[in-house]
Structure 1
């Protein structure tokens, strides 16, 4: 149990600076009305999915958390958010890097996810062009009594309080999920992933939704053990958006929007995975 607790802390602690920066930026934009920063975002808006996809490639769970905050604050589009989610690979990258023989696999995963992220990002943004820079997303418990708190403590204090609340929530949920995964065991996961089946990418995509960096580690290891295909590995890593989705579930009231985002991720992962499994 102590080892499990240490593993969860190891996964959660790196997100703290990203979470704090996210809240600090959201508070600053909300209360200071930085018109210059807004103009910069408007000018680079068309490059959003490309920049988001490139940013997501960096093996760090925190970038998906940062992207969620920017989306909820209306500073990036849903296409850019999806691009970050799709290209994020977090802990799977170091696992593959540690295996020199899997260099081609590593490059393949990165390139495929980068391409899919950009295509899906622009496709979704084209379909929802009515999204404005300030989207007025209903965000849970972020700006309630903020004006009074800001007068008393300032935005740095407010951002810190929000960061700790979300961190505790993520830690508790992550611990519960890790305990369940530990109890289930890798053998059960192998059976669930339907070794050798054409629909394996769909099961891998579902496994990728587990909001824990351990999920992508297990997917990478199962690929190295030849339990899942390259297509299934890619599908699982497309839906493996780090802790971003978990934070979004806590911060965002619009559950329909979250479901739509998850469905787009899932369909992108399944289609990509099956195509790779059939032709590569």
Structure 2
């Protein structure tokens, strides 16, 4: 047990540490929007039609913490649900460098990013016109986050730092607990349960991807490079693998009723997309 803690503790610490600068920027942006911009609803309405494309492009950036930043914007009411789903679907976390280091070809990596981008854009627009047709950024109003409407006399810097520290601690505790479970089970045992050559493998990998940890993208990439899972299963797993995004999304109790449909839509789209890719490509 002590050996696992010795391995997992620094891993969780440095994974979360990488997201801190991005969270600072996002919470600073949220403070500015809440306190300085008077025409935010109008700007969001004009940008809404491009939401899934922009979200998919942003999610394609191989950055483990970007999904967390997008979730913070969504929780504050400044990101539409379909756009957040597009970000989640396009996110690959650490997959790109792990695949290249493990021997995957550049063509495979490019194909992965292109396929995930296409699923994110198509899925985002389909969801916006169906499941989320009545939900746009700002229509529900921003949540009562500490930095904006609290009426406090504390400085903007104190508010931004306070919210960033709170989210960082929450991320670390959850990620540490999850990584302890994963390491306790063992990656070899996980690999043995992956239903090799089965049509249900994308579904299984999508479930695995829901575990909010950047370690999942590493595991899925290694399983693909090792020939344990198909390309379609990799797509499905990485499409639900939004990492810290789910943790931040579920952090605020007031926003959980809005978070669950987003997670469900991400999962369903990832499974459908990954299964189709497996049938068409392998």
Give the alignment's TM-score, normalised by structure 2. Answer: 0.90
2:31 aligned residue: 27
Is 1:53 paired with 2:42?
A: no
Q: Which residue of 1 aligns with 2:204?
A: 203
Q: TM-score, normalised by structure 1?
A: 0.91
Q: Do 2:202 and 2:232's aligned partners in 1 also have CA atoms closer than 8 Å?
A: yes
Which structure 1 residue ranges, 5 or more long, are not aligned? Answer: none
Mapped to 2, the partners of 1:105 and 1:74 lie a distance apart of 36
Moved more, 59-68 or 120-129: 120-129
What is the CA–CA distance in structure 2 between the aligned matches of 1:29 and 1:121, rounded to whole Å?
25
1:18-167 paired onto structure 2 within 5 Å: 18-32=22-36, 34-35=37-38, 38-99=41-102, 101-127=104-130, 128-136=132-140, 139=143, 142=146, 146-148=150-152, 151=153, 153-167=154-168
How far has the Cα of 1:257 moved from its partner? 2.6
Tell me the equivalent position of 1:227.
228
> Structure 2 CA distance, aligned partners of 1:208 and 1:101?
20
Q: In structure 2, do the counterparts of structure 1 residues 114 and 145 end up closer, same or farther at CA, with 3 Å as the change threshold?
A: closer
Shift of 1:215: 0.4
Note the C-alpha offset of 1:97. 2.6
Please report how far the alpha carbon of residue 35 of structure 1 lies from its aligned counterpart in structure 2 after TM superposition.
2.8
Change (3 A) 1:147 1:140: closer
| 1:249-269 Cα deviation digits (max 9, x unpaired) | 103524333221121111111
Q: Which one has the bigger helix percentage?
A: 1
Q: 1:195 to 1:125 in 2, by over 3 A?
A: same
Compute the displacement of 1:132 (Å).
4.5
Distance 1:201 1:264 in 2: 16
Q: Which region of structure 1 is more displaced relative to structure 2, 70-79 or 214-223? A: 70-79
Contact 1:192 1:203 in 2 (8 A): no
Shift of residue 196 of structure 1? Answer: 2.1
Q: Contact conserved, 1:18 with 1:66, CA < 8 A, in 2?
A: yes
**Structure 1 residue 98: deviation in Å?**
2.5
Counterparts of 1:71 and 1:144, CA distance in 2: 15
Q: Return the offset for 1:130.
A: 2.7
Cα distance in 2 for partners of 1:141, 1:70 equals 11
CA displacement 1:47-67 (0-9 Å, x = unmatched) = 111111011111102211121
SS at match of 1:253: helix
Aligned 8 A contact 1:95 1:217 in 2: yes
Give the length in aligned residue pairs: 276
Q: Deviations over 1:221-275 (max 9, x none)?
A: 0011101111111100000012111111103524333221121111111112222
What residue ranges of structure 2 are gaps of 5+ in the alignment? none
- Separation in 1, partners of 2:210, 2:237: 8
CA contact (8 A) 1:206 1:236 kept: yes
Contact 1:28 1:155 in 2 (8 A): no
Alpha-carbon shift at residue 146 of structure 1 (Å): 2.6
Compute the displacement of 1:40 (Å).
Answer: 3.8
- For 1:48 and 1:270, the matched residues in 2 are separated by 22
Confirm or deny that 1:263 pairs with 2:264: yes
